[in-house]
Amino acid sequence: MAVIKLESGYNIGVDPHSCTFVERPSPVPVKRLEVTPDRNLPDLSIVSTGGTIASRIDYRTGSVTSQFDAGEIVSAIPELAGVANYRTRSISTILSENMTPAIWQDLARAVSEEIRSGVSGVIITHGTDTMAYSASALSFMLDTPVPVVFVGSQRSADRPSSDNAMNAVCAASTATSDLGEVAVVMHATTNDDRCAIHRGTRVRKMHTSRRDAFRSIGIPSIGTVSYPSREVTLEPHAVRRGTHTLALHEKLEERCGLAQFYPGMAPGILTACRGYRGLVLSGTGLGHVSTGLIPLIRDLIEGGTMVVMTSQCMHGRVCDRVYDTGRDLLQAGVIEGGDMLPEVALVKLMWVLGNEKDPDNAAALMQTDLAGEWNRRSFHGL
C-alpha cells in the first residue's frame, strides 16, 4: 500500500498502482538552535547510544533524525538549558535490544574520556529495555569520581506526554549533584512529580510500559530528584562525588551465559553451554534446579565453566545449604550468587572472567561486593 498524507494531515493507504510519480521533494534542513554556554553553569557530557531523548521519525529522510548536538537537544527540551552546558557524543544508534558487550566497552571508553576531559558529570541516553544491563556493565568497568547517569523514556519522545523531558532534566540535575557512581534516573511514580536515582547494579525494569518501571531491588533507591524544582536528595548509602578516582577496566569475557531454570527444563539447554567460560543460573527459590540436571552442571564445571547460582525470585538471597538439592549443587562446584540479580551476576561474571584469570580468585571475586551489587546484609524486604 502507498501511504498518502492528505492536506488535513490524515494518512490513508491506497493501491500504489493508483498513484503517479510526480517528484521527490528535497529534504528540509533540520532547524538548529545556537546555544551560548553559560559560564555559571557546570559542563555535562551527553553520550548517546541510540533512541535518543530527542528522536522523531522523519518521512523525508526516511529515518530517525540522526543530528544530535547540544542545540538540538536543548531545542527539544528547553528546560535543560537552565541546568548545565552540554557537549554531546554519539557512540551508536541502535535499539537497546541490539546492545552488545562490545558496545558496553565502547561506551565505557567514551565515558572515561569525557570524565577525563573535566566534565562535572556524564548523561547516557539509552533505550530502556537493556538499560539496566548497560548500567551494571559500566558500574564494573568504570571507577568514576563523578555521576554517570543513564536515562531514557518509557513513552516515546514524539508524544506531548512523554517522560523524556522530565527524566532528562532530572538526569542532568543528578549529573551535577554530589553523586559519585553509576546510576539510572527515571520516573519514581506515574506522576510527573519526581525521579528516582537507582544504583546501576541494583536496578531492574519491572514493568513493560509504565513510566515508573525502573525499581531498585534489594536496596532503597540511592536518591530522588523533585520535579519541577530539580532538587536532588541523596540517601546516606549513595556514593559521593570524588570518592573514587577515575579508572577504566574495560576487559570482558563474552563467552558467558544466563539460563533460567523451569520445571522439566531440557538437559540440552545446559549441554549447549559447553565451552562457555561462565554460566549464571536463575534457579528457583533459594537457588535450585532439578536433581536430574546436577550431573550435567558438574560436567560443565569440570569442563572449565564457572557456574553461579542466582534466584528467579529477584528479591532475597540464594542459600544452597538448606535442602539436599542445594548441597548437591554446592558439591558440584556451583558458586552461590548471594542476593545479586541474575542479569547483574551475568555482567559481573563477564567482567570478573575478563580481568581475573585464576579460577579461585575469580570465584572469590564473584562473592565479593565490587560495585554495590552484593549486600552483606538483607536489610530490605519486598
**Comparison of 191 and 361: residue with beta carbon closer to other proteins:** 191
Task: Check residue 25 for interaction with other proteins (CB under 8 A).
Answer: no
The one among 118, 160, 236, 264 contacting other proteins by CB under 8 A: 160
DSSP lists the bridge partners of residue 15 as none
The one among 89, 109, 155, 255 contacting other proteins by CB under 8 A: 155
**With 0-12 CB in 10 A as exposed, 13-18 as middle and 19+ as buried, what is 376?**
exposed
**Comparison of 229 and 245: residue with beta carbon closer to other proteins:** 229
> Can 144 be counted among the known catalytic residues?
no
In angstroms, the CA 303 to CA 185 distance is 41
**Taking contact as CB under 8 A, which single stretch among the options 94-102, 125-133, 190-198, 371-379 is the one that binds other proteins?**
190-198
DSSP track, 288-338 = B--GGGHHHHHHHHHTT-EEEEEETT-SS---TTSSHHHHHHHHHTPEE-T
The one among 57, 102, 246, 322 contacting other proteins by CB under 8 A: 57
Provide the total of helices (H) and of strands (E) in the chain, helices listed first. 9, 20
> Can 65 be counted among the known catalytic residues?
no
- Can you tell me whether residue 272 is helix, strand or coil? coil
Task: Check residue 142 for interaction with other proteins (CB under 8 A).
Answer: no
Task: Check residue 58 for interaction with other proteins (CB under 8 A).
Answer: yes
**Taking contact as CB under 8 A, which single stretch among the options 27-35, 232-240, 280-288, 290-298 is the one that binds other proteins?**
27-35
Percent helix / strand / coil, the chain, rounded to 5:
25, 20, 50
The one among 81, 110, 149, 166 contacting other proteins by CB under 8 A: 166
β-pair type (256-260, 247-248): unpaired
Q: Least separation, in Å, of the C-beta of 157 and other proteins?
A: 8
* Contacts to other proteins from residues 117-136, by CB under 8 A: none
In angstroms, the CA 201 to CA 223 distance is 15
Q: Least separation, in Å, of the C-beta of 129 and other proteins?
A: 14
Task: Check residue 324 for interaction with other proteins (CB under 8 A).
Answer: no
> Can 190 be counted among the known catalytic residues?
no
Q: Could you tell me the CA-to-CA distances from 113 to 102, 110, 127, 239 in Å, in that order?
A: 17, 5, 22, 21
In angstroms, the CA 84 to CA 362 distance is 41
Task: Check residue 8 for interaction with other proteins (CB under 8 A).
Answer: yes
In angstroms, the CA 198 to CA 152 distance is 13
Q: Which residues bind other proteins (CB under 8 A)?
A: 1, 3, 5-15, 28, 30-31, 56-59, 155-162, 165-166, 189-193, 208-211, 228
Q: Mind telling me the catalytic residues? A: 52, 128-129, 205
